[in-house]
Each structure stands twice: as structure tokens, then as C-alpha cells.
């Protein structure tokens, strides 16, 4: 049923006249200008393989939109890649680029009063950036999954980009030769797309589908495959229908949808980064939802039913063939909130009704999970009163408890130097602080220190605690990340001194600093907050505007 489009200005007005002049010069007809106007949000970039194929995807989407009676307008945003954009400013651009995407989309789409948007979503920060923009603008929006890259073989063993990342840590620690690291890096990636493991990108693609914001059956998918092209064409057609139906993101991204997304993350032991991204999306959607609390409650009920490398033995290809996100949700059907609406125009329950899982060994039923306990837990205690995140995976041979003495660092470089000089020893709890959303600013990546500890043979003999960000893929040993409140804002992590006893129990979900309260009070009275970096440009704006992780590190919205 046709309805009035917000993009159709009153004829004869200045807005109508100057826009018509512009668009006639672009070759558009008056008939074109009456059609639903769809933003095709493209994060194509020649800086990273994750995005290198998206111009071709955009072409397919635009053709499908035109065939469905819509008028596509391709727009570009920044395209963050952890492996490329973590070089400058201590790696602190990565998370702030998520919010830059959101604001860029708002300026272009809302400024032009377009009727809907379809987002080509690829590497991990683009997915939440697109979801947050959809939630904020609340116009018909659909996300197209950009697909995963092919991986390779080196010395007769599988190798992918995550193993190169881990291998670099081992090389720094002296346990991997430069020649082997070079060979791994030359063979790890064989096609465009995102990392092939169950890191943040593939986890967020699954989140996107579980949340109802992409068509069912699209995550994961091999980039540029026939299945991806077919899915892309269907998405282009569907966004035009959504505009006429006026199916809005806030009708889809309800608390039930967020619960479904959380269950999907737990079902695949996905990336810990999904938690803050979903919290930020809820904030943008105007929901009074504590997603951290919701996620913590879900960990008591949702087992691990699929384990893609490196968490388990399954390949991403096998996971796709088994049914991917749709199969995970089918296996979790007894828990899933089936009344949640999706961009398909059908509820989750309707999408699942006649679906059959193709491979119940790769994606297990609830009756025989790979692990009957959650692969991600939130820990609390006097060292992290508002919580921190621990990825425990399948818990096989995983250290769940650790007690040791603190070794404190305020930069990853200093921690790496201590590893190389062998001054970090068995029994230490390595504390890396000042990397939170304000302290970074922007939440610096701490995983290279974790991987170097593993390469030094200390992965099982030390614990690691940080207010920084960790790889969404895998963390060796007992690793506690995203400690809140962060040190830079006066959180307890700022009070820790070398030699302080710290006890971590991931099973009991606790983290405790064993120092008398009176001593901590004395330290607090003398505390000088970690120096804030005198940033300029976007990081300075981010530092002044960012909310804590309890709000997903979304930016403040003045009311």
C-alpha cells in the first residue's frame, strides 16, 4: 500500500526546486524523484580487504532497488579495520570510529530526508555503527552481511588472520621465527571479506540477524559467493517494500529482540565485544534496557551449541553450511522470544517454523551442547563493582580460578617490554590500566599483550586484568577485560599497587582485590587520576562526549 513519502517535498518550494535542479543534472527524471529514496551505505575502502569488495555489492543492491521501484543513492562512511587503523594514537581510533559512522550516516541520510537505508555491513565496527544509526534515525533500514574471507594453509596447517595476530605475539616473545610469521601472513587471506573465525565481525553478523535487522539466512556467508549475491538482491528488493510498509527499526529492536541477540552470542560463544555494541544500540533506540544485566541473566541458561575456530574445531564454512545464525536460533527455539518482528515482515517464530538444521553436529541441539555452561561470563567484585567480561569458551582445560600478585602497567608497550625482559613471572596478575573509553580515549586494544604472554609460555601461569578492549576472538589463559569503572575515572583498578593480591574466580564470577578497605581509602585520598591525553580532533570530541560502558560507550545525546 502506497503512502506519503517524507522525501517528496511540496512542489514549488525552494527545497523542491534546488533539489530538482541538482538531480536533473545527475540524469534523474521527475518520475524518479517520486520514488522511495534509499541510501545505500557503503563502507568500501582500499585500506583493508574486509571492505575491498563492497563497491561490487553496492552495484548489485542499487540494481535491485531500481528493479523494485526505488531510487538508490550510494553514500560513503569511514571503514575501520582493527588490523589497519590500530596503528595511530595507541590504537584508540577503533571504537570511536563506530560512533563516527553513526553520526556520518545521520548527517547524510537525515540531512537529505531519505526514506530508508540499506547498509553494507562488514568489519566489526561497521555493524554496530549501522545498527546504532538505524536505531537513532528510525527509518526503514536493512543490513546486508558483507561476508567472510577465505583462509589459507601454511606448512600443511590451516592459517587465518587471527592466527597471524596470535603469531605476532609469539614472535615478539621469541617463540616463533620471523620466517614463519612471514609465511603465515602471506597465506592467511585468500579472498575479500571479514576474518574467518568467530571474532567480532562474524559474531556481529549473527547478532544482526538474531536482532531481526537482516534477512534470515544471511549470516555467515562467504564474501562474493553466489549465495551472498542472491541474498544481496533479495535485500535490495526488500528495503523498497519496507519503505512502503513503514516497517521501522524501533518496531524490530525491542527488548525481546535484544534477548534473542544475546542468546545467539552465547550459543556460539561469540565475541565479548557484542555486549557493549548491543548496549550502545539499545541506548540509540531510546530503550531503558540494561543489556549487561540481561546478558548476565542469560548466561545462566544458554549453553554453547556451536564452536567455530578457534573456540572449537568447526570451520566458518561448515558453520555456514549447517545453517548459521538461523540454525542457532532454531536450536534455541524453546528459549527464543518468537514474537519479535524482523525486517522480513515476519516474526522470528514464523521464520523458524518450518526450518530444519542441516548439520546437528556442527550446530548442536540443546539436549547435547558442546558445553552446558556459558562461554562468556561477567565478573563482579571490589576490583570491578560494575562488572568485567571473561571469555571462557568451551572451558576445556581452561583456567577458571587464579590468585596472584599484581604487576601494574599503564601502557601496552611497557607490558611488552617486561615480557621480553622476562620480568613477568609465574603467579603474576598482569594489570594493564588506563585503556578504557575515557582513559584511552577510545579503549585501546590489549590483546597483543595477552598473545605475547602466551608466546612466552606464561599463558597458563599468569592472569591478565585490563580496562581496555580485547580481541573478540580468543584470549589465552584467564583474561579479564573491560573492567568498570575504568581506572581513568577513579575506578578501583587505579588503586592497585605492585604486589597486591588479586583473586579471580570465573566459575563464581568474582574478582577481588585483597587489600584492607582502610588502606584503599588512604590510597584513594592520594590518588591522582591517570593523565588524560591531550588529544585533538575526533578523539578529543570523543573523550568529552563518551558515556561509560554501562551505556555501551555511546556518545552523550543532549536533550
Q: How far is CA 275 from CA 4, 125, 259, 265, in A?
A: 38, 13, 11, 9
Instruction: List the catalytic residue out of 7, 271, 314, 471.
Output: 471
Phi, psi of 175 (to 5 degrees): -105, 5
DSSP tag of 410: S
H/E stretch holding 388: strand 384-391
Query: ω before 441 within 30° of 0 (cis)?
Result: yes
End-to-end CA distance of the chain: 35
Distance CA 446, CA 327 (A): 33
Distance CA 32, CA 23 (A): 9
Helices 273-284, 291-298: axis angle to 10 degrees equals 140
Distance CA 366, CA 360 (A): 10
Angle at the Cα of 356 (from 268 to 473), degrees rounded to 5?
15
DSSP tag of 547: P
Give Rg (Cα) of the chain: 24
Beta bridge partners of 536: none
Active-site annotation holds for 471: yes
Burial (0-12, 13-18, 19+ Cβ within 10 Å), 234: middle
Kindly list the catalytic residues.
Answer: 471
Amino acid at each position: 500500500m502506497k503512502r506519503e513519502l517524507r522525501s517528496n517535498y511540496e512542489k514549488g518550494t525552494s527545497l523542491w526546486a534546488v533539489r530538482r535542479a541538482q538531480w536533473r543534472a545527475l540524469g534523474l527524471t521527475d518520475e524518479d524523484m517520486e520514488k522511495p529514496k534509499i541510501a545505500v551505505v557503503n563502507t568500501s575502502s582500499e585500506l583493508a580487504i574486509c571492505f575491498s569488495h563492497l563497491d561490487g555489492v553496492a552495484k548489485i543492491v542499487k540494481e535491485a532497488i531500481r528493479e523494485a521501484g526505488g531510487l538508490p543513492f550510494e553514500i560513503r562512511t569511514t571503514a575501520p579495520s582493527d588490523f589497519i587503523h590500530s596503528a595511530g594514537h595507541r590504537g584508540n581510533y577503533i571504537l570511536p570510529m563506530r560512533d563516527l559512522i553513526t553520526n556520518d550516516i545521520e548527517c547524510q541520510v537525515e540531512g537529505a530526508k531519505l526514506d530508508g537505508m540499506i547498509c553494507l555491513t562488514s568489519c566489526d565496527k561497521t555493524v554496530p555503527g549501522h545498527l546504532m544509526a538505524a536505531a537513532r534515525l528510525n527509518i526503514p533500514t536493512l543490513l546486508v552481511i558483507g561476508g567472510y574471507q577465505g583462509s589459507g594453509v601454511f606448512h600443511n596447517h590451516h592459517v587465518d588472520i587471527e592466527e597471524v595476530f596470535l603469531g605476532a605475539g609469539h614472535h615478539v616473545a621469541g617463540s616463533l621465527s620471523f620466517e614463519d610469521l612471514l609465511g603465515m601472513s602471506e597465506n592467511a587471506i585468500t579472498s575479500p571479506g571479514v576474518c574467518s573465525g568467530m571474532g567480532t565481525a562474524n559474531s556481529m553478523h549473527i547478532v544482526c540477524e538474531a536482532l531481526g535487522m537482516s534477512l534470515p539466512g544471511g549470516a555467515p556467508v562467504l564474501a562474493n559467493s553466489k549465495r551472498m549475491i542472491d541474498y544481496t538482491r533479495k535485500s535490495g528488493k526488500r528495503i523498497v517494500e519496507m519503505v512502503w510498509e513503514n516497517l521501522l527499526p524501533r518496531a524490530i529492536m525491542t527488548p525481546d529482540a535484544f534477548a534473542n541477540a544475546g542468546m545467539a552470542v552465547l550459543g556460539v560463544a561469540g565475541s565479548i565485544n557484542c555486549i557493549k555494541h548491543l548496549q550502545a544500540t539499545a541506548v540509540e533506540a531510546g530503550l531503558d534496557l540494561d543489556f549487561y544485566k540481561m546478558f548476565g541473566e542469560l548466561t545462566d541458561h544458554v549453553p554453547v551449541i556451536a564452536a567455530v575456530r578457534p573456540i572449537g574445531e568447526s570451520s566458518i564454512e561448515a558453520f555456514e553450511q549447517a545453517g548459521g545464525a538461523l540454525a542457532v536460533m532454531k536450536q534455541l527455539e524453546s528459549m527464543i522470544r518468537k514474537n519479535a518482528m524482523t525486517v522480513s515482515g515476519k516474526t522470528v517464530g514464523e521464520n523458524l517454523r518450518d526450518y530444519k538444521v542441516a548439520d546437528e553436529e556442527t550446530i548442536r541441539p540443546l539436549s547435547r551442547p558442546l558445553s552446558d555452561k556459558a562461554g562468556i561470563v561477567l565478573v563482579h567484585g571490589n576490583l570491578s563493582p560494575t562488572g568485567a567480561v571473561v571469555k571462557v569458551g568451551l572451558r576445556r582445560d581452561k583456567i577458571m580460578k587464579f590468585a596472584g600478585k599484581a604487576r601494574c602497567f599503564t601502557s601496552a608497550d611497557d607490558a611488552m617490554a617486561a615480557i621480553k625482559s622476562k620480568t613477568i613471572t609465574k603467579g603474576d596478575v598482569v594489570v594493564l590500566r588506563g585503556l578504557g573509553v575515557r582513559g584511552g580515549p577510545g579503549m585501546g586494544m590489549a590483546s597483543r599483550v595477552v598473545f605475547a604472554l602466551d608466546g612466552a609460555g606464561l599463558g597458563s601461569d599468569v592472569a591478565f586484568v585490563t580496562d581496555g578492549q580485547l580481541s573478540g576472538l580468543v584470549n589465552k589463559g584467564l583474561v579479564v577485560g573491560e573492567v568498570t569503572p575504568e581506572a581513568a575515572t577513579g575506578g578501583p583498578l587505579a588503586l592497585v599497587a605492585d604486589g597486591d593480591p588479586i583473586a579471580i574466580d570465573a566459575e563464581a564470577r568474582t574478582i577481588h582485590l585483597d587489600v584492607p578497605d582502610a588502606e584503599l581509602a588512604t590510597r584513594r585520598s592520594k590518588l591522582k587520576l591517570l593523565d588524560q591525553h591531550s588529544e585533538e580532533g575526533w578523539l578529543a570530541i570523543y573523550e568529552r562526549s563518551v558515556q561509560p560502558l554501562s551505556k555501551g560507550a555511546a556518545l552523550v545525546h543532549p536533550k
